[in-house]
A and B are shown apart, each in its own frame.
With several copies, the nearest count.
Chain A
């Protein structure tokens, strides 16, 4: 089983209303010194077969065709990140 992560972000020159809304909200919540916030998408994909270059290539094709709108977005594809990178942190109360 290959576990692949695809990160999709708006191209830097494209306006990111979502990131801006978050950024504007932060000072009101008492968070200062936030210079920039960009918001994008993260996909975790599980493909059958080995975690090899072919799997990455398939994931890249999926990203290009479906997950990212390449007119305005760019993406990065990589294997399941190291433990430290996993989104498994327990929710704090």
Chain B
């Protein structure tokens, strides 16, 4: 039996189809989850996809956090359910207090979509085991509110505990300490601003490549789930 990976659709989610496709590409079973359902349909892991849930009008992720499905996900995450929040999903995770800090308006005020060079700094999370520590990768970013911020104490703690998962090599938006993604203390919950689901196929990934640097996020979780 293969691993079941759920992808939540909130009203206003955009990259849910892409996330489902990425899950399928690595051989896991993609399961669509709906924000109103508390039932997680026995998934082994969850992806909160990118997009503009509820238009992101109030604050990115602020309203989605209160969805019924999030109640179950928050409870599950506290007990070890692997959760990956991508972009809007990362914002939802911060709003839900599964991850510390917050994401605010980019330094240049504008929405930025570009292929971004990153460094993987932690390979001990559920979602990054297939990378090597310090590996440089190319993954698209696309957001208007992607600037990570947290108080100094939190930032120091994240660094000390090795919970900074990916960093920008050339910081596009003023994120504190070049942070592009972080994990919770247990390493099962990861939030990322870059979109690994947009870097999984030669045909549609970054050009000029490498085009498929996002795949290991999905292979990492698959291996962990199949091994478990």
A and B touching (Cβ–Cβ under 8 A): yes
Residues of chain A whose beta carbon lies under 8 Å from any beta carbon of chain B: 10, 13-15, 17-18, 21-22, 25, 28-29, 39, 66-67, 69, 71-72
Known A39-B57, A71-B94: A14·B62 in contact at CB below 8 Å: no
- Assembly CA distance A9 to B95 (angstroms): 17
B58, B59, B102, most chain A CB atoms within 10 A: B58
| B106 interfacial by beta-carbon distance below 8 Å | yes
| B14 interfacial by beta-carbon distance below 8 Å | no
- 0 or 1 for each of B138-150: is its CB under 8 Å from A? (1 = yes): 0000000001011
Residues of chain B whose beta carbon lies under 8 Å from any beta carbon of chain A: 54-55, 57-59, 62-63, 66, 94-95, 97, 100-102, 104-107, 109, 147, 149-151, 174
Q: Taking chain B's interface residues, is the majority helix, strand, or loop, or is none over half, making it mixed?
A: loop
Contact check, B57 vs A66: say whether CB atoms are below 8 A apart. Answer: no
Contact check, B58 vs A14: say whether CB atoms are below 8 A apart. Answer: no
> In the complex, what residue of chain A is closest to B56 when comparing beta carbons?
A21
Contact of B54 among A13, A21, A72 (CB under 8 A): A21
Contact check, A21 vs B109: say whether CB atoms are below 8 A apart. Answer: yes
> In the complex, what residue of chain A is closest to B61 when comparing beta carbons?
A69
**Chain A positions within 8 Å of B106 at CB level:** 17
